Structure 1
């Protein structure tokens, strides 16, 4: 890789504390992602399984979401599912993000808090921008943090 293409690649992450048990939150993003529509309707309008089965590597999921005042779409392939680590990784292959990025990976990992109360959700983006004019994807963090908090509230309301 040339030096200029290295500067186009990056990794950013954020951690969000939640009240829900790690296992319940992890299950929402793997086996029940379609329920995100119910949990966070202002952010996610649809989450449809196009190929495979929920929570399995190789599955194709299409998200319709609302970000920066616009309706957007992301088609993702599930690349990694590690139940013991409560980790799932999605590769965005089509949609609005691909207008700005050559590659975009989203990793979600949920870890129980030490005291057994609540969990920490680590959200990580690995990406390569199409050119230097594209902003780094930290602008997506407020959207994802709000989504995580609304999913947490939804899960806690079902207890």
Structure 2
């Protein structure tokens, strides 16, 4: 039985594509204020806030299922395709997963509308539960919080 998997979904938001993308690329420090129930803190581990860009490493403190967790990740940006890819490096998710990669792809749907495709790729350490639906749902929740903030 395979231990690797991928979850994919899409949501439409009333936010211009470049604003959603820019928030992740240039204003990441504001995320805890935008989604405080999900994200409590984000720190740059390698790089600095003014040069937050491709390859920077961050440490996220978040709450999921009423449990405080931490993840260290490396971010990758594709400015032409409006893709934000976060590659998990270490943290609580690695109690159950060997690899953990989340992707937001921003799809222009009009001047003030965007589609956000969420992809979560993972490889489990063992067969059976847990499956990462709660993390995939958290990606969706964060996008909705960002939409509310950017209106």
* TM-score (norm: length of structure 2): 0.92
Give the Cα–Cα distance (whole angstroms) in 1 for the partners of residues 52 and 78 of structure 2. Answer: 10
Aligned to 2:59: 62
1:33 is aligned to 2:33: no
Unaligned residue ranges in structure 2 (runs of 5+) = none
**In structure 2, the residue corresponding to 1:34 is in which secondary structure?**
helix
The answer to whether the Cα contact below 8 Å between 2:107 and 2:116 also exists between their aligned partners in 1 is yes
- Which deviates further from its counterpart, 130-139 or 36-45? 130-139
1:152 is aligned to 2:140: no
Unaligned residue ranges in structure 1 (runs of 5+) = none
Give the Cα–Cα distance (whole angstroms) in 2 for the partners of residues 13 and 136 of structure 1. Answer: 14
* CA displacement at 1:42 relative to structure 2: 0.9
Give the Cα–Cα distance (whole angstroms) in 2 for the partners of residues 57 and 98 of structure 1. Answer: 23
C-alpha distance after superposition, 1:4-33 (max 9, x if no partner) = 4xx101111111111111101011112211
C-alpha distance after superposition, 1:33-86 (max 9, x if no partner) = 1111111111110011111245422210111111001111110012x3111111
- After TM superposition, where is structure 1 displaced by more than 6 Å over at least 4 residues in a row? none
Give the Cα–Cα distance (whole angstroms) in 2 for the partners of residues 99 and 87 of structure 1. Answer: 27
CA RMSD of aligned residues (A): 1.4
**In structure 1, the residue corresponding to 2:140 is in which secondary structure?**
helix
**In structure 2, the residue corresponding to 1:84 is in which secondary structure?**
coil
1:76 corresponds, among 59, 73, 77, to: 73
